[in-house]
Amino acid sequence: MININPSTQNHLGYAIYFPAAQSNYATEILKPHTMPSGLDIKDLNFLNRESRLFCLHVVLYSAGVEKPWKKSGISKTIATERVIGANQDSLIMIDSGGFQADKITFTLKVIESIYRYQLKYADLAPLIDIPTNKMYDQLTGRKRLSKFFPYTTLASCLQKTLYFQDVYIGLGAQKHDKFLNVLQGEGFDDCRLWYEAIKLNPLHGWAIGAGRANNFTVQLHRIIWLLEDGMFDRESTWIHFFGISDLKTSVLLTAILRGLRKYLAGSCVVEMSYDTRSPFYNGVLAKVEGRPIISPKRTAPQAYRFNQQQWINNPEPFPYQFSEISKYLTKGHIVTDDHGSPKITPLGYLLMQNHNLDVTVRNIDTMHQIIYGHASYPEKLKLIPRHLMMAVGAIDCLFDKKNTTAMKSLLNTQQMQWKLNNAYKNN
């Protein structure tokens, strides 16, 4: 059994990956299902230390998906069915649902119900925010004005987020070491303006929107602002990045975490994490994760579609033998016959999603072992793009500086900018 938990990742100095579980997985794994031979439905719960498959001990679930204000009450999910504090191996983050701002009307009743839901079930809880990246087309970068998303300016997003912050503070969020202020913005000036407004009510930590997650110049400036304002002058803090699905960003976040810990020299216990829903979302789309492409020419995860018609009740082994669960599966476990047409059952989706999650974690671990392992620099360059290694090295050098003035001076140099801006370039 693979055992990747927060303490293990922290010991290795890695940023922690939180799987953002979708509602079908979070709820269905608590219901009875006729499982493939050798498996129990409890094995699909990756918070379960006794799972035959793998154990991660961390999960992110969204209050926006749960809708705790609904009259039917709180659903039983992977996030609710454990006692806070009784199982220290589990770490649950409950997101606020700000990403669903185009679908939720945030009345005071709704805000208070989200707060109570997070307070009861979460170890970490970002405040409600209005994400600025929803204003933009992520492919073109152009502003999009949608009648479904009423916040069309940075000011409107920030103003509403500050209102949410005021409500949370009024409810006592500052008394609990779990709530995270949210930082948004699509460029340097936006990010600075947002931070200056939000920082006036510091909480346990920070959650950072991923609209421009690969702009590491801005991300590092954010870290410097936190240092300058004494936000690490405390026993511990947590920094989380939303929606990180690519392997390169995961190792660059680890570079920031390691550098920050080196700079602080133990004066503050800093944890860093990120999330993505990709393993679950790809499963819903009937896409199966495979081994990643990791080479000097290209670094990327891979997901494949399959011929569902050919898989109907097919006893042949599941062809993507990259996960623990794949050993138990046939094609027919995924696709059944529905009057001559292929049908993926609710269990079939769960099995694919569990496979996808296992493979995603392995892929992340592989990238980290290559970059932060003991191989020589020339050996590493035979496996991954040199621009990525240069960016990791640049981040490490930044945190060798003795103060934030020297850090900013280096960060603003043309050479440093070039290394960070080309981090995602393949050789």
Whether the pLDDT of residue 310 is over 60: the answer is yes
155 and 291 belong to one structural domain = no
Q: Which of 209, 243, 270, 206 is nearest to 399 (CA)?
A: 270
1 vs 407, more confident: 407
Last residue of a domain, one of 276, 298, 319: 276
> Under DSSP, is residue 138 helix (H, G, I), strand (E, B) or coil?
coil
Residues 52 and 193 in one domain: yes
**Do 144 and 195 share a domain, yes or no?**
yes
Q: Are residues 358 and 417 in the same domain?
A: no
pLDDT at residue 153, rounded to an integer: 86
**pLDDT one-digit tens code per residue, 162-179:** 999 999 999 999 999 999
What's the token pair of residue 55? 């154990």
- CB 299, CB 292: distance < 8 Å: yes
- Shared-domain flag, residues 124 and 178: yes
The pLDDT tens digits for 257-307 are: 999 999 999 999 999 999 999 999 999 999 999 999 999 988 888 999 999
Which domain, by its residues, includes 353?
282-372
pLDDT, tens only, 208-239: 986 666 789 999 999 999 999 999 999 999 99
219 Cβ contact partners less than 8 Å away, ≥ 6 residues apart: 208, 213, 256
The total number of residues shown for the chain amounts to 427
Are residues 75 and 134 located together in one domain of the fold?
yes
Cα Dmax for the chain: 70
Residue finishing a domain among 276, 294, 325: 276
Q: Is residue 368 part of a domain?
A: yes
pLDDT of residue 4: 43
Task: With respect to residue 427, please indicate whether it lies within any of the assigned structural domains.
Answer: no
Q: In 3D, which of 90, 30, 85 has the Cα closest to residue 58? A: 90
Identify whether the C-beta of residue 17 lies closer than 8 Å to the C-beta of residue 250. Answer: yes
Q: Is the C-alpha dihedral spanning 403, 392, 3, 91 positive or negative?
A: positive
pLDDT value of residue 39: 97
In a domain, 49, yes or no: yes
The 10s digit of each residue's pLDDT in 371-394 is: 999 999 999 999 999 999 999 999
Structure tokens at 287: 């896409």
- Is residue 24 one of the residues assigned to a domain? yes
Instruction: State mean pLDDT over 398-422.
Output: 96
Q: Are residues 133 and 24 in the same domain?
A: yes
Residues 343 and 383 placed together within one structural domain of the fold? no
| Domain annotation covers residue 313 | yes
Q: Is residue 426 situated within a structural domain?
A: no
H/E segment holding residue 290: strand 287-294
pTM as predicted: 0.93
- Which CATH number characterizes residue 270's domain? 3.20.20
Query: Are 30 and 150 contained in the same domain?
Result: yes
Tens of pLDDT along 105-143? 899 999 999 999 999 999 999 999 998 876 665 444 556
Residues 352-361 have a mean pLDDT of 96
Task: Establish if 35 belongs to a structural domain.
Answer: yes
Cα angle, residue 58 at apex, residues 54 and 59 outer, rounded to 5°: 105
- pLDDT attached to residue 86: 41
Name the average pLDDT for the chain. Answer: 90
pLDDT confidence bin for 321, thresholds 50/70/90: very high
Bridging pattern class, strands 341-344 and 335-338: antiparallel
Answer yes or no: do 33 and 179 share one domain: yes
Tell me, yes or no, whether 153 and 59 share the same domain.
Answer: yes
Sign of CA dihedral 307, 347, 121, 4: negative
**Closest to 122 in 3D by CA, of 36, 203, 41:** 203
Q: Is 301 within the bounds of a domain? A: yes
Last residue of a domain, one of 276, 298, 315: 276
Same domain, 338 and 394: no
Q: What is the count of structural domains for the chain?
A: 3
- Bridge pairing between strands 335-338 and 236-241: unpaired
Closest by Cα among 371, 410, 370, 409 to 390: 371
